[in-house]
């Protein structure tokens, strides 16, 4: 995925869900899980539904045995272009690889 440059250290095993096609993200998550490590799927705002779809498709169709280790939701404060602060819901889904 071409947004690699944006990633911070310690987030190599995280996938940030945005507006790309669903299967791009399914593949990205699968690549992480196939290394035998946990993968954190992160999304904000409207992309949260998309993230849930991605995890369910992966779990039901591509990698049987994947489990949800943790699902958490929180609010992030983003500062807009005009300096205004916006609250945006965000979600993190931690997937554990099949045994």
Interacting residues with a copy of itself (CB under 8 A)? 45-49, 52-53, 55-56, 60, 68, 71-75, 87, 89, 91, 93
With CA atoms as reference, report the closest residue to 41 among 96, 88, 99, 1. Answer: 96
Distance from C-alpha of 62 to C-alpha of 69, rounded to nearest angstrom: 18
The crossing angle, in degrees rounded to 10, of helices 22-33 and 47-57 is 50
**Least distance from a copy of itself to the Cβ atom of residue 68, Å:** 7
CB of 43 to a copy of itself, least distance (A): 9
Least distance to a copy of itself, CB of residue 1, Å: 22
């Amino acid at each position: 995925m071409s947004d690699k440059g944006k990633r911070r250290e310690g987030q190599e095993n995280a996938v940030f869900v945005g507006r790309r096609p669903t299967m791009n993200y399914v593949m990205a998550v699968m690549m992480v899980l196939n290394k035998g490590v946990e993968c954190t799927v992160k999304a904000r705002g409207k992309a949260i539904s998309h993230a849930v779809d991605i995890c369910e498709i992966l779990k039901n169709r591509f990698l049987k045995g994947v489990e949800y280790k943790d699902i958490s939701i929180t609010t992030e404060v983003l500062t807009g272009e005009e300096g205004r602060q916006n609250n945006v819901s965000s979600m993190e889904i931690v997937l554990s690889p099949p045994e």
